[in-house]
Structure 1
Amino acid sequence: MTAASDTVRAALVTPLSGPLAGFGRVGVHALELWARSAAELPRPFRGVELTVHDSSPDAAAAVRAALTTRPHLLFGPYGGGPALAVARNTDRLVWNHGGATGKLAGYPHVVNVLAPASSYHVGALELLVRRDPRPAAGTVLYVDTGFGRDVAEGAADAAARLGVAVRRLGFPRDTAAEAAASVPDADVLLVAAGFADELTMARELLSRPWRAAAFVGAGEEAPLAELGEAREGLLGPAQWMPAAAPEPDEGPDAAWFVRAYQEIAGGPPPYPATQAFAAGLLAARCLRDAGEADDDALRRAARSLSCTTLYGRFRLDDEGRQVGHRVLTVQWQAGHRRIVWPPGVAEVTAIYPRT
């Protein structure tokens, strides 16, 4: 046990109960692994003491509880809503590894580790234009929430840049079936909603002859698994996959992380775990660069930092947006997620048209 003056006090506010609890718990595993085995700290620090606070159902109360521990480092929660609630209820520097909403770039005391949701369907559009340069007609179907609007606006902006005509169709929560039934035919379908809503809409929409279809939930293993063979050919965004992990210049490599995480968690690390672990590495790097555990100094260090962890490149623009890390585009082929974009890390050629 290190003396208190030699210890970095870190606090993690994240869901440990409620619908996002599973995502929150993997972040706990990852930051505990970082604290125990991968935190490269400047003198006089010799260790990390991590406390964890449940952001559900009241993120503001959880932040207040976390601040009573007088943390040097404050790590935010999984989920855009909880992450925004934390940012609104403290002026302390927050290391954001779980909230993809672009609104967080408006908070100067938030360090954004992950790529924003507005980039989720950009890779799919770039891939489709590369494969089929003729102008296509597309539909962006999204739930009318902050997350859905972020994804839809990013897709629409990319489509305009790439010369793809798209129509945006928003729908209220809990009306997925009705929304799917009213979607007009087009060449390309891009969907952004909660996983349950995406599953409902996929069952209705995938019987149509879309040349390409992308769902946010198709980027991960579990959300659309009930579709079975109907999932074949779907595109989706993935924040991280071990097969595309770069050689890092900060922290351990992906092979070390996967092995160490499996030892403590009993299974491979999902992307929220990797994001949390990378946040720990980056916070420690900024501690070393700043030379002190002061929020303003750490913020300046983060804004000037350009490095690569196992999660990917880290670089912030002048407005605090993460512009270094890039979302992968995967496609379901023969029952497996395979990386198809960007070209430098693609494992296979995308199947196009989908059917």
Structure 2
Amino acid sequence: MRVTPLFAILLVALMMAGPVAFADTYPEQVSGNVIKIGMTASLSGKFSSEGTQALCGVEAVIKWYNDQGGVDIGGTKYKLQLIYYNDESSKDNIASLYTKLITQDKVDFLIAPYSSTLTLAALPVAEQNNKLILSHGGASDSIVSKGYYYIVQVLTPASRYLEPAAKLIKEKIPDAKVALIFENAAFAQAVKSGLVDALNKEGIKVVYEADYEPGTSDFSVYIQAAKQKGANVLLGGGHYEDGKALVKQAHDLEWSLKFIAILVAPAQPQFYDELGESIANGVAYPSQWSPHANYNPDSAAKAGLPWAGPTIDEFLNYFKQVCPNLDEPAYQSAEAGATVVYLVEAIKKAYEMYGESAITDSAKVREAFNDLYIMTFFGPLKIDPNTGKQIGHPMLIMQWQGSSQVIIYPTEYAEAQPLIAPPNWQFGGAGTTATTSAGQTTETGGAGTTGTSGEGKTNTALIWTVVIIILIIIIAAAYYYAKK
């Protein structure tokens, strides 16, 4: 085929105009009775790490149900099918993609995107179309304070994320001087607001406070100012890249800290791979979930709650099946997967209340959530009927100890004692060797090292390299044939 100059120009223009949104489905082929679930996932951009985890969690639970023949509702089996788009971590894409899911793809229910910012952009679309939407990755309290009816929150609200950390600091660090360095975005600010209340309640002194804008990569000004104030505890962050950079630079600038808790970033397994043990050891984070948490049918029975969905072991097995390139699930995958379980149980409840017509009726399924209190592999789930706010799920504080992520607080869930003043975060002397409560040996006293990135990291650079090569070939061909 001859490539004319005009055709080449059109091709280049099309490619430079930006990506065209094509829907992906999981699984690709589904027959019989089908319940269609729609969502966007951040598979590129700022939230790509968390978005990939979330998508894997949803697909794992859908596969678990479908491998059993589907969801049994009144003796009839219904298969689940997911339709999703890459939102590229941009709120500018959200309204059009969720409109497309509702009007063109004809999904029955919606799962919100990852992050409070993107979730807040999706809520008006769901509400205007009377479509139930479950928030798995939007923890901001503002999500459930705008009066929307069709919202159900699955994860603990942001204002409660670091409440346990305040109690831990009160118990373990009597001379704590806290620095708060948070992203100036909806989620992080909601966490900070609740944390400030908790710190005040515990009588803990805050000596430095700063908010940084999204996209910030240089934190040296904040770190140096906090050091000058004598801060020995760092609480902050926002999402993955900024949280990782904040931790690395704090270590590179030799900030001696007795306790560090950062949002989101340390929860990702690649945090340890990319920063190395000499930085990661001792870094804590609030977590919605751990694979070591005591959530199982026995604990459900003791709590007087019905068990629903796969066990933790089953979830881990199915996660590995659908996403073999990821080492292990982070809490973002668990909360997203539990969203499917929660939705399925509400659909069953709606059927019991109203019959077959309620199975895909957003209003009736939303009402069914009001009386639902269950235990899942993600933990207990229950909402406030008036707002859709999650009130049944507890938060955990986890910490890197050596190469392991362990629960350190609250005490009733703890696997290990908190590592306070980790030796690799104490500067001014020669390096020492210390053994953590988890039993790992840690080399300390030097600057942080950087390891290789995790297998699950999205290879954006490779994709763009291929695109550029194709563009060069097209332009060269157009020029060649134009000269002939």
Normalised TM-score (structure 2): 0.68
- Which residue identity lines up with residue 104 of structure 1 in the other structure? I
Corresponding residue for 1:306? 373
| DSSP-derived class of the 2:81 partner | strand
1:189 aligns with 2:189: no
- Which residue identity lines up with residue 102 of structure 1 in the other structure? D
Q: Give the CA deviation at 1:69.
A: 2.4
| DSSP-derived class of the 2:126 partner | coil
| DSSP-derived class of the 2:292 partner | helix
Corresponding residue for 2:120? 84
Determine the C-alpha separation between the residues in 2 that align with 1:315 and 1:323. Answer: 6
Corresponding residue for 1:294? 361
Which of 201, 204, 216 pairs up with 2:246? 201
1:223 aligns with 2:271: yes
| DSSP-derived class of the 2:84 partner | strand
Cα contact 2:63–2:318 (8 A) shared by 1: no
Question: Which stretches of structure 1, 4 residues or longer, exceed 6 Å deviation after superposition?
Answer: none
Q: What are the ranges of 5 or more consecutive residues in structure 1 without an aligned counterpart?
A: none
Query: CA 1:8/1:195 → structure 2, altered by over 3 Å: closer, same or farther?
Result: closer
1:112 aligns with 2:144: no
1:49 aligns with 2:49: no
Determine the C-alpha separation between the residues in 1 that align with 2:391 and 2:238. Answer: 24
Q: Give the CA deviation at 1:89.
A: 2.2
Cα contact 1:41–1:47 (8 A) shared by 2: no
Corresponding residue for 1:177? 220
- Which residue identity lines up with residue 37 of structure 1 in the other structure? W
Cα contact 2:267–2:331 (8 A) shared by 1: no
Q: Give the CA deviation at 1:157.
A: 1.1
Count of residue pairs brought into register by the alignment:
352
Larger radius of gyration: 2
CA deviation map 1:292-323 (0-9, x unaligned): 12212111221221111001110112432212
Determine the C-alpha separation between the residues in 2 that align with 1:101 and 1:79. Answer: 9
Corresponding residue for 1:128? 169
Question: Once structures 1 and 2 are overlaid, which stretch shifts more, 303-312 or 345-354?
Answer: 345-354
Query: CA 1:332/1:22 → structure 2, altered by over 3 Å: closer, same or farther?
Result: closer
Q: What are the ranges of 5 or more consecutive residues in structure 2 without an aligned counterpart?
A: 1-29, 298-306, 352-357, 424-484
CA deviation map 1:259-307 (0-9, x unaligned): 1221221143232221221111110100010111221211122122111
1:96 aligns with 2:135: yes
| DSSP-derived class of the 1:347 partner | coil
Corresponding residue for 1:254? 312
Corresponding residue for 1:243? 292
1:23-34 alignment runs, 5 A limit: 23-34=50-61
Query: CA 1:245/1:273 → structure 2, altered by over 3 Å: closer, same or farther?
Result: farther
Determine the C-alpha separation between the residues in 1 that align with 2:288 and 2:49. Answer: 17
Q: Give the CA deviation at 1:341.
A: 0.7
Corresponding residue for 1:212? 259
1:14 aligns with 2:14: no
CA deviation map 1:48-75 (0-9, x unaligned): 2321223234011110110022222211
Q: CA RMSD in A?
A: 2.3
Which of 305, 313, 323 pairs up with 1:265? 323
Cα contact 1:239–1:271 (8 A) shared by 2: yes
Q: Give the CA deviation at 1:238.
A: 2.0
- Which residue identity lines up with residue 65 of structure 1 in the other structure? K
Cα contact 2:271–2:280 (8 A) shared by 1: no
Query: CA 1:199/1:54 → structure 2, altered by over 3 Å: closer, same or farther?
Result: closer
Q: Give the CA deviation at 1:45.
A: 5.0
- Which residue identity lines up with residue 191 of structure 1 in the other structure? G
Cα contact 2:71–2:77 (8 A) shared by 1: no
CA deviation map 1:107-166 (0-9, x unaligned): 33211111223233222221122234x474322111222122112112101112222132
Question: Once structures 1 and 2 are overlaid, which stretch shifts more, 87-96 or 279-288?
Answer: 87-96
Determine the C-alpha separation between the residues in 2 that align with 1:49 and 1:213. Answer: 41
Cα contact 2:260–2:284 (8 A) shared by 1: yes
Cα contact 2:37–2:107 (8 A) shared by 1: yes
Normalised TM-score (structure 1): 0.90
Q: Give the CA deviation at 1:338.
A: 1.6
Q: Percent identity?
A: 21
Determine the C-alpha separation between the residues in 1 that align with 2:41 and 2:142. Answer: 18
CA deviation map 1:196-215 (0-9, x unaligned): 33333334434233322222
CA deviation map 1:162-181 (0-9, x unaligned): 22132532233425232222
1:276 aligns with 2:336: yes
Cα contact 1:135–1:163 (8 A) shared by 2: no
Determine the C-alpha separation between the residues in 1 that align with 2:331 and 2:192. Answer: 22
Cα contact 1:229–1:335 (8 A) shared by 2: no
Question: Once structures 1 and 2 are overlaid, which stretch shifts more, 288-297 or 328-337?
Answer: 328-337
| DSSP-derived class of the 1:115 partner | coil
Q: Give the CA deviation at 1:77.
A: 1.3
CA deviation map 1:92-114 (0-9, x unaligned): 21011122222211233211111
| DSSP-derived class of the 1:10 partner | strand
Query: CA 1:16/1:193 → structure 2, altered by over 3 Å: closer, same or farther?
Result: closer
Corresponding residue for 1:36? 63
